[in-house]
Chain A
Amino acid sequence: MNYSVRSATVRFGSTLALDDVTVEVPAGSVVAVVGGDGAGKSTLLRALAGEVRLESGTVEAPPRQRLGYLPASSGSWAALTVTQNIDFVAGIYGLAGDELTARRAELLDRASLTPAAGRLAAQLSGGMRRKLGFVMAIVHRPSLLILDEPSTGVDPVSRIDLWRLVSEAAASGTAVLMSTTYLDEAERAAHLVVLDSGRVLVQGSYDQVRAGFPGVVTQTSEPVREEWAWRRGRLRHEYWPGADPPPGAILAEPDLQDILIALSLARRHMVPS
């Protein structure tokens, strides 16, 4: 089952949050949404979750019973213990008794949260709390899982744990749509959606995005056009949308960060991609 947002336009007052955005989320795969602040990532996720009204467009989403959602906030109740948080959400989805006990134990074990089962959510570290939020989002085995920046502010080890949980959910057939600010995470997704100012700059697999990237990127210590350059380590990278760098320029192999920045610059300078 594929879920999707098609030709979605969302407006908050005079701000165009999403502009004719189409994204498909196939079952059993992870779709990652990347983009800068205010790009429209959360709005896209919330549109699929039915949390924002579309000005135009359609949403294909499962019924609420089959939807799992982790908001950008902690996603858990601070004054409840880990177990109480899971049980509360599970109860809403109709899980109870032995089925709940078994599911809770399985998820706590997979998220390495078993030793913290009796602790208040407020007493958990940031990474543990996000993992708890994730566990709460998948406790009912949703067919569509929406994760709003699940790993933001999480330490590298917990990020690995979280990504493993996301991969396992997808492997079990769940369609996963997640936003992230970590491009290395996005590169691992089956499908990438790069958003900028509410519009899709590019989407596809990582390889497709790279293959379809127009123009070239050069590396230098002194860029020719400051407005097309950005810092990468000790050097600067510079984008040439028309693939016309000056003779002798050193070409760089653009990674996702380069692609994202280059396409955003192109959009700002109104160069058709």
Chain B
Amino acid sequence: MIVKEFRELVRDRRTVAMLIAMPLLLLVIFGYAANFYVSSVRAAVVGPQASRAAALLPSYFDVTLTDRSGDEAYAETLLRDSKVDVAFVTGRTPVLALVNGSNLFAAQSTVAALNKAGREVTTQVLFNPRLKTSWVMVPAIIGLILTFIGTIITSIGLVREREAGTLEQLAVMPIRPSQVILGKIAPYFLVAALDMVIVTVLGIALFGVPFRGNPFAFALGAGMFLFVVLGIGVFISTVSQTAGQAIQTAFFFLLPQILLSGMIFPLAAMAAGVRWIGYLLPLTYFTMISQGIMLRGAPITALWLPFVVLAGMAVVVFTGATLRFRRDLAPGNPASPPREQQTAAEAVNTA
């Protein structure tokens, strides 16, 4: 019995991967990424004494910008656009320190550091004044829910069709592969979009999370993100024969998104060797967009980078996955009916 079990286990590559890769992944993540302590924050110093004040700041503040002509409004813009985590406004006594509350852990440690300065600095937290965890989590949770639906539910739905053998039936019907793919994905897209609206409204109603930015920009970002996660779901369905395999594979995609996207552990606090994984994950960029638009009211121009990255991911992942799915759906060149007198060579040439 034991030998039989080992033989079965060795042939189940996904389970072997889970048994070996998952402990290693968790070890790496919790060893290098599980860190709430932010050792350094990006800082800007503006106003007439900007240069002198910047020189006096401790090393915790990584001064990336000094501007003697800048004022409080300019400092707020820098924070809104997430250029810095804290902005000092000089030319007044005490000096005003504006903190980006949407970057929760950086804000918490910054406020703690500023409190040590006593009366020399007045601290004001913007965008999340009471530093509520729920305010930064709700925009990220929206992304997580979209990921869950897009990745797991979509892949299960597609694999179920394969398991039941009905995918084979669809393949011989006079329906284009693109129509099959669209028909399979559209419901999940709509359900995920509806879920997104519900969670966003509930987040605002239950937790008082603000929605300061442009809803259309938010919808655009969510739409692009959905294409990425749906593409991942479609891809998983093409490498899975059963719903169990699809769930197992989706787990490999979900876990890093939860742990390394900056949703739980701040990206800035992660070791550089692990942080780059976070920058490969779509949820990282959606969280940047959702937090930026909802909490800070950031315009789309300030969030161009995550928008561009998500758009690129959407094109690459969704196109690649659907082409792969299309290949599975149409192994025998069904795209050229009628097939009177079709030879094998023609089939290969027109595929």
A52-B332, A58-B341 known; A64 vs B165 contact (CB < 8 Å): no
- The verdict on B273 contacting chain A, using a C-beta distance below 8 Å, is no
Q: Are A73 and B165 in contact (CB under 8 A)?
A: yes
CA distance A76 to B331 in the complex (A): 21
On chain B, the residues within 8 Å of A49 by CB distance are: 172, 332
Contact of A51 among B168, B340, B342, B348 (CB under 8 A): B168
Is chain B's interface secondary structure helix, strand, loop, or mixed overall? loop
- The verdict on B171 contacting chain A, using a C-beta distance below 8 Å, is yes
A49-80 to B contact mask, C-beta < 8 Å, 1/0: 11111111111111111010111111111100
Q: Are A53 and B331 in contact (CB under 8 A)?
A: yes
Q: Are A64 and B174 in contact (CB under 8 A)?
A: yes
Tell me the smallest distance from the CB of B350 to a CB of chain A, in Å.
Answer: 11
A58-B344, A60-B340 known; A50 vs B174 contact (CB < 8 Å): no
User: How many residues on the B side are at the interface (Cβ–Cβ under 8 A)?
Assistant: 25
Q: Which of B327-351 contact A (CB under 8 A)?
A: 331-334, 337-344, 347-348, 351
On chain B, the residues within 8 Å of A51 by CB distance are: 168, 171-172, 331-332, 334
On chain A, the residues within 8 Å of B333 by CB distance are: 50, 53
Contact of A77 among B166, B175, B348 (CB under 8 A): B166
Contact of B337 among A65, A69, A77 (CB under 8 A): A65
CA distance A57 to B332 in the complex (A): 13
Q: Are B332 and A75 in contact (CB under 8 A)?
A: no
CA distance A92 to B180 in the complex (A): 11
CA distance A56 to B166 in the complex (A): 27
Tell me the smallest distance from the CB of B326 to a CB of chain A, in Å.
Answer: 14
Q: Are A60 and B341 in contact (CB under 8 A)?
A: yes
Closest A-chain residue to B179, C-beta based?
A92
Q: Are B332 and A53 in contact (CB under 8 A)?
A: yes
On chain B, the residues within 8 Å of A182 by CB distance are: none
Q: Are B165 and A71 in contact (CB under 8 A)?
A: yes
Closest A-chain residue to B351, C-beta based?
A53
Closest A-chain residue to B341, C-beta based?
A60
Q: Are A61 and B339 in contact (CB under 8 A)?
A: yes
Contact of A54 among B171, B174, B338, B347 (CB under 8 A): B347
CA distance A59 to B172 in the complex (A): 14
Contact of A62 among B165, B338, B347 (CB under 8 A): B338
A58-B342, A59-B339, A78-B164 known; A50 vs B173 contact (CB < 8 Å): no
On chain A, the residues within 8 Å of B172 by CB distance are: 49-51, 64, 67, 69
B240-284 to A contact mask, C-beta < 8 Å, 1/0: 000000000000000000000000000000000000000000000
Tell me the smallest distance from the CB of A94 to a CB of chain B, in Å.
Answer: 8
- The verdict on A93 contacting chain B, using a C-beta distance below 8 Å, is yes
CA distance A76 to B339 in the complex (A): 25
CA distance A72 to B169 in the complex (A): 10
Closest B-chain residue to A68, C-beta based?
B172
CA distance A57 to B175 in the complex (A): 26
CA distance A269 to B244 in the complex (A): 43
On chain B, the residues within 8 Å of A117 by CB distance are: none
Contact of A73 among B164, B174, B343, B347 (CB under 8 A): B164
CA distance A74 to B161 in the complex (A): 11
A38-58 to B contact mask, C-beta < 8 Å, 1/0: 000000001101111111111
Q: Are A65 and B347 in contact (CB under 8 A)?
A: no
Q: Are B344 and A56 in contact (CB under 8 A)?
A: yes
CA distance A69 to B339 in the complex (A): 15
- The verdict on A266 contacting chain B, using a C-beta distance below 8 Å, is no
A63-B337, A63-B338, A73-B164 known; A54 vs B344 contact (CB < 8 Å): yes
Q: Which of B71-121 contact A (CB under 8 A)?
A: none
Tell me the smallest distance from the CB of B132 to a CB of chain A, in Å.
Answer: 42
Q: Are B344 and A53 in contact (CB under 8 A)?
A: yes
Q: Which of B143-170 contact A (CB under 8 A)?
A: 164-166, 168-169
Q: Are A74 and B332 in contact (CB under 8 A)?
A: no
Q: Are A71 and B173 in contact (CB under 8 A)?
A: no
Q: Which of B162-195 contact A (CB under 8 A)?
A: 164-166, 168-169, 171-175
On chain A, the residues within 8 Å of B334 by CB distance are: 50-51, 64
CA distance A83 to B178 in the complex (A): 26
Q: Which of A76-93 contact B (CB under 8 A)?
A: 76-78, 89, 92-93
Closest B-chain residue to A146, C-beta based?
B172
Contact of B173 among A60, A64, A76 (CB under 8 A): A64
A71-B165, A73-B168 known; A50 vs B344 contact (CB < 8 Å): no
CA distance A270 to B169 in the complex (A): 38
CA distance A59 to B174 in the complex (A): 18
Q: Are A58 and B343 in contact (CB under 8 A)?
A: yes
A53-B331, A62-B338, A69-B172 known; A76 vs B166 contact (CB < 8 Å): yes
Can you list 6 A-B pairs, Cβ within 8 angstroms, ordered by A?
Answer: A50-B172, A58-B341, A61-B339, A64-B172, A64-B174, A64-B338
Could you list 20 further interchain pairs (A-B, Cβ under 8 angstroms) beyond the known A53-B332, A73-B168, A92-B173? A49-B172, A50-B334, A50-B342, A53-B351, A57-B344, A58-B343, A59-B339, A60-B341, A62-B338, A63-B338, A64-B174, A65-B337, A70-B169, A71-B169, A75-B165, A76-B166, A77-B164, A92-B174, A92-B175, A93-B173
Residue numbers of B with Cβ under 8 A of A are 164-166, 168-169, 171-175, 331-334, 337-344, 347-348, 351
The 7 closest A-B pairs by CB, nearest first: A73-B165, A63-B338, A54-B344, A64-B174, A63-B337, A50-B332, A64-B337
